[in-house]
Amino acid sequence: MVDKEEFDQHADTYNAGLSPYVKITGESIEFFAQSRIKWVAKQLKTRGDMPQKILDYGCGIGVATPFFLDEFGNDCTITGVDVSSASLDVARSKYGAGNINFVTLKDHFPSASMDLAFCNGVFHHIPLDEQDSAMRYVYDSLRPGGYFALWENNPWNPLTRYNMAHAEIDRNAIAIIPPHAKKLVVTGQFELLEMQFHFIFPNFLKFLRPLETLFAPLPIGAQYVVFCRKAAS
C-alpha cells in the first residue's frame, strides 16, 4: 500500500522538492500541470464531451485544480482523492470550495458517476500487486462512457530517470514502462483511445514544440499519457 506518512511529510514542501529537477527543463510544475489538462480537454472537445464531474486520483496538494476550472468551467465538480491527509489539508486551504472537495481514498467510495478521471504520476507509487485494484477503483468511479487520462513518467527518457532518481518524493517509486501502463488499462476493461508521449523540448527549444505532435507516437517524451474510456454500456 502507498505509504501515507511518506507523502504527509512532503505536503508542505512538494513543489520545492520537485522544482530543482523540474527547473532543468526551464519550466514550472504549473506549466506541466496546465499542459496535461489542456491536452485532455482538447481530446474531449474533439469528441464533443465536456465533463462536469471530475475525479483527480492522487491529487496531492491540488496543483491541477485551477487548470480543471480553466478548461472545464467554474461550475464543474472536482473531487480530489489521495492517501495523504496532510496533502489534502494543503489542497483545501488553497482551493476548497462548494464544488471542489478533497477526500482521503479510504473515505471516498466509487459511485460510477464521474465523467472524467485524471491521474498524474501516481501509479509509480503504488505497489505492483495493488495496481490492478487501484485501476478498478478508477473504473468503478466512472459513469458508463466516462474517460480516464493516465499520465506517467517515461523511464525511457534520460531526464525523467535522472529526476526520479534524485527527487526525494520518488525515493520508493517503481517506474512504469509504457507497455505496462497500457496493459493496466486494457486489463482493467478500459477501451484504449490514445497513447502518446509528451514534453520533449525544454524551454530554450520551445520554438520546436509545435513539432511535438509529430513525435507523440515515439517513446522519447518525458511523460506519456494513456487515454481511455469505460464502455458506454
The domains found in the chain, sorted by start residue, are 4-229 (3.40.50.150)
Using CA atoms, how far apart are residues 50 and 38, in angstroms rounded to an integer?
13
Pair 45, 35: CB distance under 8 Å: no
Give the CA distances from residue 37 to residues 59, 127, 173, 201, in Å, rounded to whole numbers and listed in that order: 13, 26, 23, 18
Angle at which helix 29-46 crosses helix 65-72, to 10 degrees, equals 30
Q: Would the pTM of this model clear 0.85, i.e. be above it?
A: yes
Using CA atoms, how far apart are residues 123 and 133, in angstroms rounded to an integer?
11
Using CA atoms, how far apart are residues 102 and 81, in angstroms rounded to an integer?
6
How does residue 164 score in pLDDT terms, banded at 50, 70 and 90? confident
User: What is the pLDDT at residue 233?
Assistant: 72
pLDDT tens digits for range 30-78: 999 999 999 999 999 999 999 999 999 999 999 999 999 999 999 999 9
pLDDT tens digits for range 119-144: 999 999 999 999 999 999 999 999 99
The DSSP result for 151-163, as a single string, is EEE-TTSHHHHHH
